[in-house]
Structure 1
Amino acid sequence: MNDKYVVIDLETTGHTPVNPDKIIEVGIVVIENGNITDDFSTFLNPNIPIPPFITHLTGITDTDVRDAPGFQDKATEIIDLFADGYFVAHNVPFDLGFLNKELAAGGFPELQNPVLDTVELARILYPQAPGFKLEQLADYLQISHDEPHRAITDARMTAKLFLALWHKLRSLPYETIAHLLSLEKGLNSDLAALLNAQKQAIAFADVNDNLDIYRGLAFKAGSKANPDPPNVHTSFGSFLDAIYEEEGAMEQHMAHYEKRSGQRDMSEAVFDAFRTKQHALIEAETGTGKSLAYLLPAVYEAVTTHKKIIISTHTTQLQSQLLDEEVPLVRQLVPFPFNVALLKGKQHYISLDKFERALASEQSDNYDITLTKAMVLVWLTETETGDIDEIQLPSNGYVFYRQISTETEGSVDPTSPWFSRSYYQRARRKAQQADIVITNHALLCTDMFNDYQLLPSYDKAIIDEAHHLEETASKHYGLTLHYVYVQNILTQIGETSDGNWLGKLLQNMPASNKSAFSETDWNNIFSWTKYEVDELFRMLFQYVIDQKKKSKSFSDTGRIQYRFDENDHEGGQQWSVIKEMVNRLTFYLRDLIHLLSSLDASPAANSAVVNDYAAELPKHTEALQSIIDRLEKLFLLPDDYTVKWMEIEAYGAKNAVYLYSESTDISTLLADDFFSQKKSIILTSATLSIRNSFSYSQKKLGLPPENLLTAKIASPFPYQDQVRLMIPNDFPDVRYGSQEAFIRATCEAIISLAHITDGRMLVLFTSYDMLRKAYYLLRETIDTNQYVLIAQGISSGSRSRLKKNFQSFDQSILLGTSSFWEGVDIPGQDLSCLMIVKLPFQPPDHPVYEAKSTYFKQEGKNAFFELALPDAVIRFKQGFGRLIRSTSDRGIVFVCDARIIKARYGRFFTESIPAVPITHDSTPNIMQQAREWF
């Protein structure tokens, strides 16, 4: 590190270097010859008040800067520090933008130094980091960071981060450095000199034994095969005694271990179902420790019978928890080794073949794609799985990734060098050798509906988050089609001269292999096909608008939905025209398939390029056929057992139409294709029963009652002492009253409760529309200097990012909908109040609910009690479960919807959650009781 690197961090009065935002503190650290040699720190007087949220964030007050120098007084000293050095910062545009704005205002020359952005470098060199904020990286790399959000401490932290990044760069292999050099011009950091120096330094170094080098790509070599499992002779009861009971393995390996009788009960229930070849529904309430409870019998059963067991989860979050936390603990607890493998769908795994071709492509990339390529290059030297979920790509990077995933490969020649290096094939081999295979509901259902060709053979499985199985199965048995999907397929194939797949194939293919192919015919038909696609989706968009003019129906996502069938009786002549357009489009697509089939794709001698492109011919043909199949199922073929609907965004593009089809009753399919095929399927979740009955879940999933074990494992938490359920009796009627008045009353209650609980509130809505209205009303009425207001869909960031922001402020209020009703874990004092605005009933005009309701009515059943109410109760239980996550948690559940008390079905809700004290009183009285209880 012979160069000079000048690391800077600024604290400012705001986020943009335009008036009135000013610099209030500067911290600079100088690195020379790999060591920190100098630092500089000063407050600066901005001559404007410092906003309260900046003082809250940094601790800097108006008093601190009152007697500080102005920027002009320190400008020369700052400029001199940067002489002949790199400008290094964590987010260069921010710090350089502010600095140059102040320099220009004072008549000084702006800095023109080469720049190195540690955010960008961290994304490239530590692609598996959990986040790229300075504090997150400091935690990840174990860099001490006292007093974050102060300029000099953040500058020192950034300097240490930069040194770590430089050392990481030095560890990269020659091939990776060479590829990074070819991408360097598309990055923001001036890396050329550093990369060239490293390239020269390692040109003659020994190749790392842990790396595999092929066609200029360096990637981590695969690990060795798993050993054979041992023979186990201990009984299951003795096995559990040695783990759960006094002085057992749990006491030895878990700090502060408290025995939970329900945990062992669940382990025994799972094992009983396995041994008696029964299916099981097991509801394990919060705090049971169900993951460990089912892993222990699963491992014992798999190892003792030498037959693998599948464990399926709905979310990747739970998969990660199982692999990173639960499985390592089980390895400590059990007295024998076992093998665990994770297997996901092809779309999760990178294709080295596709990525190598993408690197060789000469097409110009935007910044996100360039950054994605750089991140993937480094990640490949570290990953053993090739699972893209290990890293966080930039938003547009996922669009590029879909083009280089294993799913895009089509059929691959098993003799190909890439096949032996395929991450997906490696994952499949590991799964074949494993005792326990962890997968997700999506792949489980795909495997089920594809004659069990994807997962290794199994007879027994555990399905966690089982309340999502029916929904996932319905989607996989159904289909989707939308405009962008169709256009992407066509664009990937392309005309003969636009540089896409077909053009490249024809350009390199010998004339004899394409003698039967007419380029003129292809281009004409291709052009008409794209035109017909555009016209069809525009017509569908207008059709939905026309049909919904009198009674618009908005889903939770704000889209307009319209249910239809192949003989839509509402559409008249307009529907006939649509069907004609669908027919015409399918004919054009068949013509394209016919033309592609006239190409001779047999392997060409000494032409790897032709063979690479020719290998993709079946994939493109299948993609075109899939569009035909979907169009026919949606518009042309009768099906009494599916519901079909369209969704549009009223103010979106005029061809942005989403087409869906789902089964109205998946239970028969699950019964025939899944439960009757397997010996023992364990379904577990915290929300499977209603008023202590499993009949709803049993019927919905198609479980045979004569071969079913059920168990309800109670929570060890003392809910009677931890929770108060409070329902006001003076709110406007949620069904018939004014929505504005109801939202106003809700917001007033939020503000009152926030004063009692110091914020720390999660407010669950059933629609984005109501959430938005509440947010903007709260923003006008609440003291935003005291409370931080965070709202899903309005505040930027993912669900996990919003949750982290909520937890990082002392007094915050989080408004959420849809995904926030489950899977959000906020333990301890971060959450003291859960507000449920409305009981979570599905909108009655949602197409799937509407179709299922019709089905129940035809069967002579009550759709509300058979479908709407049970679904709402399950959802309510999920929401209720957000509040208490440990024995020390304490809080209020405030339900604004008085139907939970007044309606004759209200007891279904209150009797399906743990028994807690219930208060039904006026809002002022409730607030007083809440204040006294806290």
Structure 2
Amino acid sequence: MNEKFVVVDLETTGHSPVNSDKIIEVGIVIIENNKITGEFSTFLDPEKPIPPFITNLTGISDQDVKESPRFHEKASEITALFENSYLVAHNVPFDMGFLNGELTSAGHQKLTNPVMDTVELARILYPQAPGFKLGQLADYLNIRHEEPHRAINDAHMTAKLLLKLLKRLRDLPYETITHLLNLENGLKSDLYALLSKQQQLLAFSSSSDETIETYRGIAIKKTNDEQPESHYAESSFGSYLDTIYEAGGTMEQAMPRYEKRAGQREMSETVFDAFRLGKHALIEAETGTGKSLAYLIPAIYEAVTMNKKIVISTYTTQLQSQLLDEEVPLINKLIAFGFNVALMKGKQHYLSLEKFERELEANQSDNYDLTLTKAMILIWLTETETGDIDEIQLPSSGYIFYRQVSADAESGFDPYSPWFSRSFYQKARQKAQKADILITNHALLCTDLFNDYQLLPAYDKAIIDEAHHLEETASKHYGLTLNYVYIQGVLNQIGSIDDGNWLDRLWKSSALDDESGFSKTEWEATYENAKNEIDDVFRMLFQYVVEQKKNSKTLSDIGRIQYRFEETKEPSEPWGIIKEMVTRLTFYFRDLIHLLSSVKQHLAANDFADNAHYAEVSNDYMDTLQSIIDRLEQLFLVDDDNTVKWIEIEAYGAKNAVYLYSEPIDISTLLADNFFGKKESIILTSATLSIRNSFSFSQQRLGLSPEQLITAKIKSPFSYQDQVQLMVPNDFPDIRYGEQNDFIHSTCEAIISLAHITDGRMLVLFTSYDMLRRSYYLLKETIDINKYMLIAQGISSGSRSRLKKNFQTFDQSILLGTSSFWEGVDIPGDDLSCLMIVRLPFQPPNHPVYEAKSNELKREGKNAFFDLSLPNAVIRFKQGFGRLIRSANDRGIVFVCDARVIKARYGKYFTESIPSVPITIDSTHAIMEKAEEWF
């Protein structure tokens, strides 16, 4: 690989040469014989002012480029550097687009070099990297990155990255290279020559990588499936804890700056007591307790000494990763005996090698994202031991492809399949069976609870972390969901004749003849009728919700209109029409199932190429269609007093963007019977389980019997009195009297004032998506956008973790968030100095689930506000409060715009449920002065 590579990086006045943006700096680095052999750098005069945000980003001002040459004066010199070379850039379309735009304007020929895009190559060759920006890759690959956002420095960085990428390419197995050659045509980078040369070298090489095995033309990492034996050194639990927690213990030796936290040992003892007494426990562990270690230490002791598996369930994959990557390795240093830990997720998380092999073989014209996804998975297979797709970041539409090749797409596990012994999901199950500690998630735990088939190995004891999510997760998994896109997607996957799909291929292969019982004419007619009926049903439902909610267009926190329906209360005529349409749709689906059944039986009885595969595909789709029928009937054709059913529509979306839901009104009895009544000891822990030191709300909602329950509240070691100020203005407009515009104006003014004091670094939590949106656009008009980075959930693009990363990347950021930002987002240290809570987080009274639960409580003679609404809001408030202080060194302000926290008679429920902190109630102006002085 001794080709010449010319790496270029440009700084420009903006993002688009089409909009007359110009190059202001060029940095070029030349690589020959795998070494950096030269460089070129110059400022260029763009003949227009440099925007302030570009100066802030790059440090390049109008003064720097004032005496510099113009592009046309350097065009020949720049073009000469690219002769007989690859053009390399970190995002080639950007740099090549600008160069060719400037060259054309200067009367020169465009560059037509073969290209290498290091963003694309990094995604393919390092699929497990945490991100693919230049700085992120530099950190991941230990490349020094000096003065980012300057052209020559970034060009050097990109050159060093390219050298690592080329070396990684040379290390790939022959089979992986061969598959990449088949995909190369669909990539941006011109890899054909490099891959062909490497393929030839490997074809004549006798050396092989002992960490890789090849099976059916796919290179996979060899895994050691043997697990070490658990063994235990005899000691009492008390002395076991002494050797860990006390002076001179292993915790001190393993953690250089370890400070003993009394609450941590107290929690370990509480968990152990519950296990040994055969009781359930509710343990609230405030921030900073170190609860993960505190429950893992007794769980491991119990599992190994009693030879009993203990399940640990989390709500987020982030916490699962923390347990496996940080806590378990630390515990291995803390204790003197061996133990086994396994992670078990749902089937949809694991790649099916059998399905992936088939997709690689299929001759199909892939779009770019699909080609990139296949390339990433090929390299990942040489690295992964788990086959868990969460290890890599696929392009967004790559997940649609992944669903087709996940273990969830397999109808069952055939022990005679050539891939069975290498199945990632089967290996995960086997490890789970042998493990002392099994880590899983609430979703899989609840699916296991409410299904006849067993997904998890047998267990009697479990620890539920992030336990405030258990009720909601159990309700979702006992309930059901359905939407237009999913149903149409299923039909599109099954396909019609003449669309090139599997059924079309079967028909054209003559496997389906007159004897098969399958009629092409009947299939096409029924298939078309079903698709049209789906359109009609969902458009009718959309219009129905619009009509029923025409006087109330309140949006949910994700911008949807919600409507709860009850069979006995719907207007008879339109509702009757909807039921007729749903019934007709289920008949079409039954007809499709009948036709697929004839395909399956015919294939089973005859010997065609791939008949076993196609029979399995037929069976899969029959099951899927039956599942849709069952859900439609449950939603529209079965009356159930214990269930809440509702429809959501996209307020500004397509006229068939409809989502259907159903959940039990009360899950507590189901949990009591199916979970707590059957298990010996379940520990539920979270930072938010109590209200004013009482656990009664959590206990009742989960169906826990007080006789079988231990409760404990573990105090935080943080000094909240010194670290936090809670500030509440007493002069905000009262939103209850229709002064929402004034309230939003006051909120935005407070955000701007606080931003000046805290240099941004603010998280603003809303309960209403509509209010967030209006505040965002008002702030955009009034705040200095050259100084502050304004990020808004649902408006700024990206997932929650992406928005969080952007927030931390910019020094002066303000992040506006709704529901999912109230918890689970750790932003420690100076990145977050101010938390603003705009409104107390009461659920809207017309939220379908709240409305149904509220009505049920009223029927029982209870107070829906004090028994449901207020406790939920307090727990949410505690979660929001917990975002601010994540370490002993954090300091910050909690600014609550909602004066009800002080004025309302129930306000003390909020203030007495968080740690004791200084509270200031004053005018906004006085509070700002105090905040500035405190900081």
TM-score relative to the length of structure 1: 0.98
Q: Aligned runs of 1:436-447 on 2, under 5 Å?
A: 436-447=437-448
SS in structure 1 of the partner of residue 312 of structure 2: strand
Match of 2:760 in 1: 759
Bigger mean CA offset, 719-728 vs 9-18: 9-18
Q: Given residue 445 of structure 1, which amino acid in structure 2 is its aligned partner? A: C
Match of 2:75 in 1: 75
Match of 1:14 in 2: 14
Rounded to whole Å, the distance in 2 between the matches of 1:73 and 1:268 is: 76
Match of 2:198 in 1: 198
Q: Given residue 573 of structure 2, which amino acid in structure 1 is its aligned partner? A: Q
How far off its partner does 1:500 sit?
Answer: 2.0
Q: Given residue 425 of structure 2, which amino acid in structure 1 is its aligned partner? A: Y
SS in structure 2 of the partner of residue 18 of structure 1: helix
Q: Given residue 690 of structure 1, which amino acid in structure 2 is its aligned partner? A: I
Q: Given residue 131 of structure 1, which amino acid in structure 2 is its aligned partner? A: G
Q: Please say if residues 771 and 816 of structure 1, whose CA atoms lie closer than 8 Å, have aligned partners that are also in contact.
A: yes
C-alpha change, 1:43 and 1:908, in structure 2 (3 Å) is: same
Rounded to whole Å, the distance in 1 between the matches of 2:317 and 2:429 is: 18
Q: Please say if residues 232 and 303 of structure 1, whose CA atoms lie closer than 8 Å, have aligned partners that are also in contact.
A: no
How far off its partner does 1:70 sit?
Answer: 1.5
Q: Please say if residues 566 and 634 of structure 1, whose CA atoms lie closer than 8 Å, have aligned partners that are also in contact.
A: no
Superposed CA offset, 1:284-318 (max 9, x none):
00000001111111111111111111111101111
**1:846 and 2:839 aligned:** no
Match of 1:115 in 2: 115
Match of 2:571 in 1: 571
How far off its partner does 1:933 sit?
Answer: 1.4
**1:888 and 2:886 aligned:** no
Q: Please say if residues 748 and 778 of structure 2, whose CA atoms lie closer than 8 Å, have aligned partners that are also in contact.
A: yes
Match of 2:186 in 1: 186
Match of 2:922 in 1: 921
Q: Please say if residues 555 and 770 of structure 2, whose CA atoms lie closer than 8 Å, have aligned partners that are also in contact.
A: no
C-alpha change, 1:514 and 1:54, in structure 2 (3 Å) is: farther
Percent of aligned pairs with the same amino acid: 72
Q: Given residue 537 of structure 1, which amino acid in structure 2 is its aligned partner? A: F
Q: Please say if residues 12 and 25 of structure 2, whose CA atoms lie closer than 8 Å, have aligned partners that are also in contact.
A: yes
Match of 1:312 in 2: 313
Q: Aligned runs of 1:295-694 on 2, under 5 Å?
A: 295-451=296-452, 453-508=454-509, 510=511, 515-567=516-568, 569-599=569-599, 600=601, 603=604, 607-694=608-695
How far off its partner does 1:512 sit?
Answer: 7.8
What is the number of residues matched between the two proteins?
A: 933
How far off its partner does 1:759 sit?
Answer: 1.6
Rounded to whole Å, the distance in 2 between the matches of 1:697 and 1:513 is: 62
C-alpha change, 1:279 and 1:608, in structure 2 (3 Å) is: farther
Match of 1:175 in 2: 175
Q: Please say if residues 310 and 458 of structure 1, whose CA atoms lie closer than 8 Å, have aligned partners that are also in contact.
A: yes
How far off its partner does 1:498 sit?
Answer: 2.6
Structure 1 stretches lacking a partner, 5+ long: none
Superposed CA offset, 1:69-92 (max 9, x none):
221221111111100000000000
Rounded to whole Å, the distance in 2 between the matches of 1:448 and 1:486 is: 26
Match of 1:125 in 2: 125
SS in structure 1 of the partner of residue 214 of structure 2: strand
Rounded to whole Å, the distance in 1 between the matches of 2:256 and 2:800 is: 31
Superposed CA offset, 1:78-111 (max 9, x none):
1111000000000001111111111111111111
**1:32 and 2:29 aligned:** no
Match of 1:162 in 2: 162
Rounded to whole Å, the distance in 1 between the matches of 2:247 and 2:801 is: 38
Q: Aligned runs of 1:776-925 on 2, under 5 Å?
A: 776-925=777-926
How far off its partner does 1:695 sit?
Answer: 0.3
**1:283 and 2:280 aligned:** no
Q: Please say if residues 604 and 611 of structure 1, whose CA atoms lie closer than 8 Å, have aligned partners that are also in contact.
A: no
Match of 2:210 in 1: 209
SS in structure 1 of the partner of residue 337 of structure 2: coil
Rounded to whole Å, the distance in 1 between the matches of 2:390 and 2:123 is: 15
Match of 2:92 in 1: 92
**1:743 and 2:744 aligned:** yes
Rounded to whole Å, the distance in 2 between the matches of 1:796 and 1:579 is: 38
**1:3 and 2:6 aligned:** no
Bigger mean CA offset, 111-120 vs 918-927: 918-927
Rounded to whole Å, the distance in 2 between the matches of 1:301 and 1:191 is: 55
Q: Please say if residues 873 and 908 of structure 1, whose CA atoms lie closer than 8 Å, have aligned partners that are also in contact.
A: yes
SS in structure 2 of the partner of residue 810 of structure 1: coil
Rounded to whole Å, the distance in 2 between the matches of 1:760 and 1:346 is: 39
How far off its partner does 1:507 sit?
Answer: 4.2
How far off its partner does 1:514 sit?
Answer: 5.2
How far off its partner does 1:462 sit?
Answer: 0.6
Bigger mean CA offset, 352-361 vs 592-601: 592-601
Q: Given residue 875 of structure 2, which amino acid in structure 1 is its aligned partner? A: I
Q: Please say if residues 597 and 619 of structure 2, whose CA atoms lie closer than 8 Å, have aligned partners that are also in contact.
A: no
Match of 2:708 in 1: 707
SS in structure 2 of the partner of residue 687 of structure 1: coil
SS in structure 2 of the partner of residue 632 of structure 1: helix
Rounded to whole Å, the distance in 1 between the matches of 2:543 and 2:760 is: 46
SS in structure 1 of the partner of residue 737 of structure 2: coil
Q: Given residue 539 of structure 1, which amino acid in structure 2 is its aligned partner? A: M
Structure 2 stretches lacking a partner, 5+ long: none
C-alpha change, 1:308 and 1:608, in structure 2 (3 Å) is: farther
Q: Please say if residues 901 and 908 of structure 2, whose CA atoms lie closer than 8 Å, have aligned partners that are also in contact.
A: yes
How far off its partner does 1:160 sit?
Answer: 0.6
SS in structure 2 of the partner of residue 224 of structure 1: coil
Match of 2:48 in 1: 48
Superposed CA offset, 1:216-240 (max 9, x none):
2111123232122113311111111
C-alpha change, 1:300 and 1:508, in structure 2 (3 Å) is: farther
How far off its partner does 1:619 sit?
Answer: 1.2
Q: Please say if residues 516 and 602 of structure 2, whose CA atoms lie closer than 8 Å, have aligned partners that are also in contact.
A: no
Q: Please say if residues 506 and 514 of structure 1, whose CA atoms lie closer than 8 Å, have aligned partners that are also in contact.
A: no
Superposed CA offset, 1:462-494 (max 9, x none):
111000011000000000111111112222222
Q: Please say if residues 514 and 598 of structure 1, whose CA atoms lie closer than 8 Å, have aligned partners that are also in contact.
A: no
SS in structure 2 of the partner of residue 616 of structure 1: helix
SS in structure 1 of the partner of residue 470 of structure 2: helix
Q: Please say if residues 511 and 608 of structure 2, whose CA atoms lie closer than 8 Å, have aligned partners that are also in contact.
A: no
Q: Please say if residues 791 and 807 of structure 2, whose CA atoms lie closer than 8 Å, have aligned partners that are also in contact.
A: yes
Q: Given residue 626 of structure 1, which amino acid in structure 2 is its aligned partner? A: S
Bigger mean CA offset, 501-510 vs 478-487: 501-510
SS in structure 2 of the partner of residue 770 of structure 1: helix
Superposed CA offset, 1:439-481 (max 9, x none):
1100000000114600011111111100001100000000011
Rounded to whole Å, the distance in 1 between the matches of 2:488 and 2:340 is: 43
Rounded to whole Å, the distance in 2 between the matches of 1:198 and 1:514 is: 51
Rounded to whole Å, the distance in 2 between the matches of 1:623 and 1:255 is: 55
Q: Given residue 222 of structure 1, which amino acid in structure 2 is its aligned partner? A: T
Superposed CA offset, 1:170-226 (max 9, x none):
111111111111111111111100110111111133443322322221111232321
TM-score relative to the length of structure 2: 0.98
Match of 1:721 in 2: 722
Superposed CA offset, 1:236-278 (max 9, x none):
1111100100011111011211110000101111111111111
Q: Please say if residues 279 and 681 of structure 1, whose CA atoms lie closer than 8 Å, have aligned partners that are also in contact.
A: yes
Q: Given residue 357 of structure 1, which amino acid in structure 2 is its aligned partner? A: R
SS in structure 2 of the partner of residue 648 of structure 1: strand
Q: Please say if residues 465 and 686 of structure 2, whose CA atoms lie closer than 8 Å, have aligned partners that are also in contact.
A: yes
Q: Aligned runs of 1:220-259 on 2, under 5 Å?
A: 220-259=221-260
How far off its partner does 1:58 sit?
Answer: 1.5
Q: Given residue 204 of structure 2, which amino acid in structure 1 is its aligned partner? A: F
How far off its partner does 1:778 sit?
Answer: 1.3
Rounded to whole Å, the distance in 2 between the matches of 1:571 and 1:404 is: 44
SS in structure 1 of the partner of residue 567 of structure 2: coil
